[in-house]
Amino acid sequence: MPQRAIDAMPDGVVLAGPDGMVELTNVEARRMLRIDGSGAGRPLAEVLALSDIDGNDWVTSNDPYAGLRTRKAVPEQSWLLPDGTEVLVAAKLHRPGRGEPIDRVAVTIRSGRWRARLDRERSDLVATVAHELRSPLTGVRGFVHALLNRWDQLNDDQKKLMLTTVAADADRLTRLIAELLDVARIDTGRLHVHPRPCDLVVLSQRVVESVQHATARRITLDAQEVPQIVADPDKVTQVVTNLVENGVRHGEGDVAVAIGLDPADPSYVALSVTDEGDGIPEELRQRVFTKFWTASSGGGSGLGLYIVNGLVRAHGGTVLIGDRPGGGAVVTVTWPVHAP
Helix (H) or strand (E) holding 265: none
Report, as an integer, the average pLDDT of 165-182.
Answer: 84
**Any idea where the domains of the chain sit in the sequence?**
2-111, 116-188, 196-336
Report, as an integer, the average pLDDT of 7-13.
Answer: 89
Question: Helices 233-250 and 304-314, interaxial angle, to 10°?
Answer: 150
C-alpha closest to that of 230 among 139, 121, 317: 317
pLDDT grade, residue 129 (50/70/90)?
A: confident
Chain segment 265-312, per-residue pLDDT in tens: 999 999 999 988 777 777 777 777 777 666 655 555 677 788 899 999
Do residues 98 and 90 lie in contact, with contact meaning Cβ atoms separated by under 8 Å? Answer: no
Chain segment 52-107, per-residue pLDDT in tens: 888 889 999 999 998 888 888 999 888 899 888 889 999 999 998 887 889 999 99
In this structure, the chain runs to a length of: 340
CA distance readout (Å), 326 to 137, 217, 279, 319: 41, 19, 10, 22
Architecture in CATH of 116-188: Orthogonal Bundle (1.10)
Average pLDDT in the chain:
86
Q: Where are the beta strands (DSSP E) in 210-305?
A: 219-223, 229-231, 255-261, 268-274
Tell me how far apart the alpha carbons of residues 88 and 90 are, in angstroms, rounded to a whole number. 7
Angle at 91 between CA 86 and CA 93, to 5 degrees: 165
Residue 197 has a pLDDT of 95
Tell me how far apart the alpha carbons of residues 229 and 195 are, in angstroms, rounded to a whole number. 9
Residues with Cβ < 8 Å from 166, sequence gap 6 or more? 139, 140, 143, 144
Do residues 110 and 17 lie in contact, with contact meaning Cβ atoms separated by under 8 Å? Answer: no
Q: Lowest mean pLDDT: which of 26-30, 130-134, 245-249?
A: 130-134
Tell me how far apart the alpha carbons of residues 50 and 265 are, in angstroms, rounded to a whole number. 58
Residue range 196-336 forms a domain whose CATH class is: alpha beta
Tell me how far apart the alpha carbons of residues 304 and 313 are, in angstroms, rounded to a whole number. 14
Residue 301 has a pLDDT of 64
Tell me how far apart the alpha carbons of residues 240 and 319 are, in angstroms, rounded to a whole number. 12
CA distance readout (Å), 112 to 9, 25, 76, 129, 142: 16, 20, 11, 26, 44
Residue 240 has a pLDDT of 94
Tell me how far apart the alpha carbons of residues 74 and 90 are, in angstroms, rounded to a whole number. 6
How many CA atoms lie within 13 Å of 32's alpha carbon, on the beta-carbon side? 27
Determine the residue type at 4: R
Query: Residue 259, Cβ neighbours under 10 Å: how many?
Result: 20
Determine the residue type at 89: V
Query: What pTM was estimated for this model as a whole?
Result: 0.60
Do residues 298 and 250 lie in contact, with contact meaning Cβ atoms separated by under 8 Å? Answer: yes
Residue range 2-111 forms a domain whose CATH class is: alpha beta
Tell me how far apart the alpha carbons of residues 228 and 338 are, in angstroms, rounded to a whole number. 6
Do residues 25 and 13 lie in contact, with contact meaning Cβ atoms separated by under 8 Å? Answer: yes
Chain segment 176-210, per-residue pLDDT in tens: 888 788 888 887 778 888 899 999 999 999 999 99
C-alpha closest to that of 241 among 254, 229, 253, 255: 255
DSSP string across 56-87:
-BHHHHH-TTSS-TT--EEEEEEEE-TTS-EE
